[in-house]
A and B are shown apart, each in its own frame.
Chain A
Amino acid sequence: MTTTIAPARTSSVDAPPPPAPSAQHRRSPARIVSRVLVVLIAMVQVYPLLWLFVTSVRPERDFASGNPFGIPGSITWDNYARAFDQGHLGQNILNSLIVTAGAIALIVVLGMMGAYALQVLGFRGSRAVRALFLLGIVVPVQIALVPLFIDYSRVGLLDTYPSMIIPLAAFALPMSIYLFSSFFEYIPRETYEAASMDGAGPYRIFARITLPLSLNTVVTVVMVNAIFIWNDFIFANTFVLSEGRKTIPLGLQNYIGAMGKVDWTATFAAVCVTVTPLLLVFLVLNRAMIYGLESGANKG
């Protein structure tokens, strides 16, 4: 890999004479157009979110009467106060934290265990089990809604935290096992053999070698899944019935008043409150997540 890239680099960057293609490209109109486009696309992706935030600090009257897309005349935090008064925002956030933490813990622990059994321990029929798990990546979650709703109502699990945690974790498990497996492949066999010679059993090897080495993969798995689980709508909407168990995505719906009348500024304030923690974590840890996305798809 490095041997093929290194000569290419020297030819394009270090070579000063004009024939080097990149030197010409740099000032070409095509390059300027592509720069402008890259910035424009970034605006399309970011402006709606920025507008969301600006609206959330805009006085209600300013939003209703003035130009809702201009710069606000003044800034207010009243909308945030109203957002907390109107809904059950605090309770929603707590519920989301519980569900996300629970599902993520299951995904990481069980994903790692499954991958360890399949990739490191190995056994007869492991290929079949692996294929069974891969099926879960293709199967849509909708298949589980009716059966789980019926099963839950029979065993009294409807409207509980596990009713959301179980399917969220189970449907994310295949991808997590896949990511951990492809990481475990890179742990040299010699490491295990050496540990084995020293008398370490499978449990000790898991705890002392595999687990500590895979912390980076853990961060990736947590990030990718946290976003999807924190934002889950379909399972929560199906299995949650009472106000007290509603997660953030469901709670946000409360802001739509009777007859579809919406208190937009308070709604956007609520949206901002619920989006910000995830956004901050994402901005801090985006490298881990982007790395996970890239390697996940590029290995497949």
Chain B
Amino acid sequence: MLPYRSRLSVAVFLVPPLALYAVAVLLPIGQSLFLSLFSWDGITDSQFVGLDNYRHLLTDGVFWRAFANSLGYLVICLVLQLGGALAIACLLTSIRRWREVFKVLYLLPAVISTVAIAFLFARIYSVEPEGLLNGVLGAVGLDALQRPWLSDVSTVLAAVSAPEGWRFVGLYTIIVYAALLAVPRDLQEAAALDGANAWQIFWRIRFPYIRPVWITTTIMATTYALRGFDIPYLLTGGGPGQSSELVTTYMYKTAFTSTNYGYASTISVFIVVECLVAVGLILLVLRREKTA
């Protein structure tokens, strides 16, 4: 603490950031909680309906379908981003030169806007004209696997999840890689002298050492996947049917297409709770493993 300060100076520095934060983050959270108790189309008077919206949520088939899809989206993103990041970061530590160049190349997709990525993948997945994916499958003789990826109900969810995974692998790779570099070398070499193989060194020394960073990246990747919206919304708009509908896209449509503000607020409250629960679970599981 600065020895020479005043209440006024604290206020001068704190009030502006707090005011912006309150107006655009805290107030909307409160408003959403409030609105979720009403039925309102934005034009006629709003009606207090108590917990009806929440009751509706429980029995809303489309919502549960979207929730299941969101979990699928989450799993695919986590496997691609965290699994991919860990594997790629380990690979990077094993090469000697050009590491910095590869870090930059891996991070490139994260710089591109989601709209551009949606265009790109729409073209990669397309059938007529033949896109990159179907072209490659045809070229290697796997014609049987060619399909309209975005309109086939069985593949559409994976197809809208993969771009998000692809986009941020590099980001998590860089974070995990930095953590791996910090693992003390003498610890690993001592283990190698004791006869540990590469897997043992990885699971017994390197991975436990980077656990704090692993927790952070898992939380980041999970909360970002749970609020994922842009690419599925742009690629398919949730279709065909509800096969790629996520909780976020459903909430967006409920608010701005059906103008059902009350129910949309209920869904957005659900998204917040979902993120908080996920963070709580991650901390619980990953922290407990440490003590066990």
Is B28 an interface residue when CB atoms closer than 8 A count as contact? yes
Residues of A contacting B170 with CB < 8 Å? Answer: 45
Is A183 an interface residue when CB atoms closer than 8 A count as contact? no
**Do A143 and B21 touch across chains, with their CB atoms under 8 A apart?**
no
**Do B115 and A290 touch across chains, with their CB atoms under 8 A apart?**
no
Residues of B contacting A192 with CB < 8 Å? Answer: 2-3
Is A242 an interface residue when CB atoms closer than 8 A count as contact? no
Interface of A, secondary structure class, is helix
**Do B135 and A12 touch across chains, with their CB atoms under 8 A apart?**
no
B residues contacting the other copy or chain, number (CB 8 A) = 97
Which of B5-13, B47-55, B61-69, B140-148 forms contacts with chain A?
B5-13
Interface of B, secondary structure class, is helix
Q: For residue B186, which residue of chain A has the nearest CB?
A: A8
Q: Which of A111-169 contact B (CB under 8 A)?
A: 111, 113-114, 116-118, 120-123, 129, 132-133, 136, 138-151, 166-167, 169
Please tell me which one of the listed residues A42, A46, A167, A274 contacts residue B24 in the complex, with CB atoms under 8 A apart: A167
Residues of B contacting A201 with CB < 8 Å? Answer: 4, 9
Please tell me which one of the listed residues A8, A118, A177, A300 contacts residue B189 in the complex, with CB atoms under 8 A apart: A8
Q: CA A122 – CA B56 in complex, angstroms?
A: 47
Nearest-neighbour CB distance to chain B for A37, whole angstroms, equals 6
Interface size class of A (residues with CB under 8 A): 35 or more
Q: For residue B192, which residue of chain A has the nearest CB?
A: A21
10 contacts between A and B (CB under 8 A): A30-B94, A38-B88, A118-B14, A120-B1, A121-B2, A140-B227, A169-B24, A177-B17, A249-B114, A275-B111
Residues of B within 8 A of A (CB): 1-7, 9-10, 12-14, 16-18, 20-21, 23-29, 31-32, 35, 42, 88, 91-92, 94-95, 102-116, 119-120, 123-124, 129, 132, 135, 166, 169-171, 174-175, 178-179, 182, 184-186, 189, 192, 198, 212-213, 216-217, 219-220, 223, 226-227, 229-230, 234, 248, 251-252, 255-256, 261, 264-265, 268-269, 271-272, 275-276, 279
